[in-house]
Amino acid sequence: MNQTITAPKAPAAVGPYCHAKLAGNTLYTSGQLGLIPAAGKLPEGVEAQAAQALDNLGAVLEAAGMGLTDVVKTTVFLADMKDFSAVNAVYAKYFPGEAPARSCVQVAALPMGALFEIEAVAVR
């Protein structure tokens, strides 16, 4: 049995998907772009987009009764691997101490011309 999670503080989905699915104690999130929820637009620069996407991920986790400390695995998608160091600096602020397991890949393109996207698995 699973539960659909909709996060009122996160931007609306840009396609036919939900913010996350809770299956038992495990939450699987959809990819979060750095969209500013109220504006529906991306901020300038990869650092700003990464920070906003991580804020959006936090909002999805909050809607499921969880937080960033519950995240066990993330997947980061970058439009350009040259942004890896800059993204790591932002990421480290959101996951201080013991960070979750992570994969990071460069992709040909992201929705809406985004530079950064993140998805996560969290366990309550």
Number of continuous H segments (helices) and E segments (strands) in the chain: 2, 7
**Predicted local confidence at residue 57, as pLDDT:** 98
d(CA 37, CA 102): 25
Question: Is 95:71 a contact under the CB 8 Å cutoff?
Answer: yes
**Predicted local confidence at residue 1, as pLDDT:** 84
Tens place of pLDDT per residue across the chain (124 aa): 899 999 999 999 888 999 999 999 999 999 999 999 999 999 999 999 999 999 999 999 999 999 999 999 999 999 999 999 999 999 999 999 999 999 999 999 999 999 999 999 999 9
d(CA 101, CA 48): 23
**Predicted local confidence at residue 14, as pLDDT:** 82
Distance of CA 94 to the CA centre of its chain: 11
**Predicted local confidence at residue 48, as pLDDT:** 98
DSSP 36: B
Question: What beta strand segments (E) does the chain contain?
Answer: 2-5, 20-23, 26-29, 32-33, 71-78, 101-106, 116-123
Q: Would you call 18 a catalytic residue per the annotation?
A: no
pTM check: above 0.85: yes
Q: Which of 57, 104, 112, 119 is catalytic?
A: 104
**Predicted local confidence at residue 25, as pLDDT:** 98
